Amino acid sequence: MIKKISMVWMVLIVGLATAIGQKINIPRVIADAETQTRLMLTEILKAKNNSPSLVSPHVLKKGKLELVPSGGWTSGFFPGELWYLYELTGKKTWESEARKFTANIEKEKFNDGTNDMGFKIYCSFGNGYRLTNDAHYKDVIIQSAKTLATRFNPKAGVIRSWDSYKNKWDYPVNIDNMMNLEILFEATKLKGDSSFYNIAVSHANQTLKNHFRPDFSSYHVVDYDTITSQVIKKTTHQGYCDQSAWARGQAWGLYGYVMCYRETRNKAYLQQAEHIASFILHNPNMPPDLVPFWDLDAPHVTDEPRDASAAAITASALYELSTYGKSNKKYKLTADKIIKSLTDNYRSPLGQNKGFILLHSTGSKPSNSEIDVPIIYADYYFLESLLRKKKLDAGKKLLN
């Protein structure tokens, strides 16, 4: 089995040689992202339409830019994108815009009706604190972690995802929730309170135990009985069916366990990340350009829409995974191929699509919502991947 996997990797690496022979012009891609984001800033003002509660761009539907209020789960991605542009360019204008859009969602630090604290607060205030050491941002991160911790059920050992859908689940936990653990790890480092760390580890352990199939693909939603702590059922909300591999869900799991290994050095998390990466990259329904169909098990899959956001998330995770271990160059080579595919074939023409950077993402196919459209989190993880690639290419530390 080991020899078979090794041979697959060898074939993949040889195939990558030609693809990455033509290197990505990172300065040009960053400059193009700046051009698009300037357009986005203009379009946001138009799209607000005298609605001050709308604070961040989310998606482009039928040519219309849709914004979300601070409570929307995607509200933190555009502020985070602005912080990444500041980090990539050093231009104070991007810092100024990042501060403005970050401030727009500060009240979410007290919102205990959602599990998406990491997406909202860590992508915005977390990046802001990392780059500026602003003491106020530190306070927001800690308060947000306290709020998120209230959604933890000690009996089940996991953080509740949605409060809605009560007719469908008792205590739902989605794979996306792995992405919200980073803010808990950060709060322990900032405050010295290990309770946040312990909650994150418990959630990661229970998810590892209950969310994954023998082939290391992931269920989307696991429903828990909070009295017995037992799993009631394993289902999906955004995948093709309960047993299928929803592409973005697989990417969330990969990214989440790479991050958990970074924060804990628990080798079980590293092994899990490697297993998930193998499932994604060796999947027979993965297209040659490594930008997946929205669900890898959908029928007639080659006719299904792609999900550029899943590819961008996967690439970012693989860049970090490549830094753990001496023989992990294969992960960086693969991430390079994904980013080259996105750069060459999935970017918006300059001056179009209201300023979005990437095209061809899929939000929720089962809900017939946001299919084959630009979505803000695809742009966020694309820029994060570019930043990580730039650092690795320069021989610098990935995380500071």
Q: How far apart are CA 81 and CA 72, in angstroms?
A: 16
Q: How far apart are CA 20 and CA 311, in angstroms?
A: 17
Q: Which two tokens stand for residue 310?
A: 């899943």
What is residue 69's three-state secondary structure?
Answer: strand
Q: How far apart are CA 266 and CA 264, in angstroms?
A: 5
Which residues are CB-contacts of 125 (< 8 A; sequence separation ≥ 6)? 76, 102, 106, 137, 140, 141, 144
Q: Which amino acid is at 353?
A: N
116 labelled catalytic: yes
**What are the φ and ψ backbone dihedral angles of 375, each rounded to 5 degrees?**
-130, 140
Q: Following DSSP, what letter does each residue of 111-141 receive, concatenated?
A: -TT-STHIIIIIIIIIHHHHHH--HHHHHHH
Q: Exposure string (b/e) for 106-143, b if CB count within 10 Å is 16 or more?
A: bebbebeebbbbbbbbbbbbbbbbbbeeeeebbebbbb
Neighbours of 247 (CB within 10 A): 31
Strand locations in 78-214, DSSP E? 152-153, 158-159, 172-174
Which residues are CB-contacts of 335 (< 8 A; sequence separation ≥ 6)? 314, 315, 316, 318, 319, 322, 385, 388, 389
Q: Which amino acid is at 167?
A: N
Q: Following DSSP, what letter does each residue of 238-298 receive, concatenated?
A: SSSSTTS-BHHHHHHHHHHHHHHHHHH--HHHHHHHHHHHHHHHT-TTS-TTS--BSBTT-
- Strand 152-153 vs strand 64-69: parallel, antiparallel, or unpaired? unpaired
Half-sphere exposure of 270 (CA within 13 A, CB side): 14
112 labelled catalytic: no
Neighbours of 154 (CB within 10 A): 11
Considering the candidates 116, 295, 307, 336, report the single residue annotated as catalytic.
Answer: 116
Cα distances (angstroms) measured from residue 292 to each of 12, 237, 341 = 16, 18, 11
Considering the candidates 32, 134, 163, 176, report the single residue annotated as catalytic.
Answer: 176
> Where in the sequence numbering do the catalytic residues fall?
116, 176
